[in-house]
Amino acid sequence: MDRRHFMAAGIAAGAGISAGVTSASAQETSNAPKFKLRYGPDLGTFRGHVGNDVIDNIKFAADQGFRAMFDNGLGGKPVELQEKIAAEIAKHDMKLGPYVVYPNFGDSNLMTNKKDSIEDFLKKIDAGKEVVKRTGCEGMLVVPGKVDQQLEVDYQTANLIKVLRRACDIVEKDNVMIVLEPLNRWNHPGQFLYGMPQTYMICTAVNHPCCKIVDDMYHQQITEGNLIPNIDRSWDQIGAFHIGDNPGRREPTTGEINYKNVFRHIYKKGFDGVLCCEHGRSKGGKEGELAFIEAYRWADSFEA
């Protein structure tokens, strides 16, 4: 059966939304079945239905059965709004995925042992842990930077491991998680972290429960594929997931990844963290938001 027409054929009654239902009726739907896994839409995903207010977006997502949210820019929001987000998330028994605390795409300073840059990074980690404590989000996401072309990679790896150990010392008392994101080099050429095996090696060497991986399955499908075996091999170091189909980085069912099988595997391993829906949509406006929900209903319809 065509995955894009699965909803209309099979689960309209259970989900409260189908391909033929209008956006207005979707907005009125409440108490839809809860998803098996904690897929986390962005705080602005449903602005076509409820506007730009992030609290209304959380309420709408919860009504559609979502059990998590995420916001890469959480740390830049006013403290008062962070607290409101945390309260609304707690009200619906949801979780909030990791936010981006250090998105470094421009230099190699952490890997080349540049003291000033390392101290700046550690200050960001120290400040960022307060956002985690305030909001209850699942941690801080770090992209450490680019590969240096004049220093052997093994030295760069050792330097990064030492920096991450210092970062873990900062967050250890508050049990705050730092997640490292490996990126694909097609979209992000020259980045130091580029795959699950390499990032697993680094986290294992850091050897601290606060240092984990965010497995962005869009990036890893491009970089090495073999998603399920790599999940198994890296399992003890995975702290969160990012979702996005390939090609296009849009919702499940739009590309080549069989997310129903991948989600089933993650579910059977007992994962209860956030799988952040870090992707675009194949359609615009309210229609695209409905397609987003339908895609996750299909992908989540695996047998538990």
CATH of the domain at 170: 3.20.20.150
| pTM metric for this prediction | 0.91
Say if residue 8's pLDDT is above 70: no
Residue 195 within any structural domain of the chain: yes
* List of residues 6+ apart from 12 with CB closer than 8 A: 18, 19, 21
* Nearest Cα to Cα of residue 17 among 42, 43, 40, 46: 46
Q: What is the total count of domains within the chain?
A: 1
User: Taking each helix axis from N to C terminus, what angle separates 54-63 and 79-91, rounded to the nearest 10 degrees?
Assistant: 10
- Phi-psi group of 226: left, alpha or beta (phi > 0 → left; psi -120 to 50 → alpha; rest → beta): left
Say if residue 2's pLDDT is above 50: no
pLDDT on residue 101: 98
Residue 34 within any structural domain of the chain: yes
Segment among 2-6, 72-76, 171-175, 226-230 with least mean pLDDT = 2-6
**30 pLDDT tier (thresholds 50, 70, 90):** low
User: In which domain, by residue range, is 21 found?
Assistant: 3-299
Residue 73 within any structural domain of the chain: yes
Helix (H) or strand (E) holding 275: strand 274-276
pLDDT on residue 284: 96
**31 pLDDT tier (thresholds 50, 70, 90):** confident
Say if residue 120's pLDDT is above 90: yes
**304 pLDDT tier (thresholds 50, 70, 90):** confident
Alpha-carbon radius of gyration of the chain: 19
Mean predicted lDDT score pLDDT of the chain: 92
**96 pLDDT tier (thresholds 50, 70, 90):** very high
Sheet order of strands, 211-216 included: 38-40, 274-276, 238-242, 211-216, 178-180, 140-143, 99-103
User: Taking each helix axis from N to C terminus, what angle separates 227-234 and 259-268, rounded to the nearest 10 degrees?
Assistant: 20
Say if residue 1's pLDDT is above 80: no
* List of residues 6+ apart from 46 with CB closer than 8 A: 57, 60, 61, 289
- The answer to whether the beta carbons of residues 180 and 203 sit under 8 Å apart is yes
Residue 304 within any structural domain of the chain: no
Mean pLDDT of 190-199: 97
* List of residues 6+ apart from 280 with CB closer than 8 A: 248, 249, 250
- Phi-psi group of 246: left, alpha or beta (phi > 0 → left; psi -120 to 50 → alpha; rest → beta): beta
Percent of the chain with pLDDT over 70: 90
Mean pLDDT of 23-38: 69
For residues 18 and 169, give the distance between their C-alpha atoms in angstroms, rounded to a whole number: 49
* Nearest Cα to Cα of residue 218 among 261, 179, 254, 247: 247
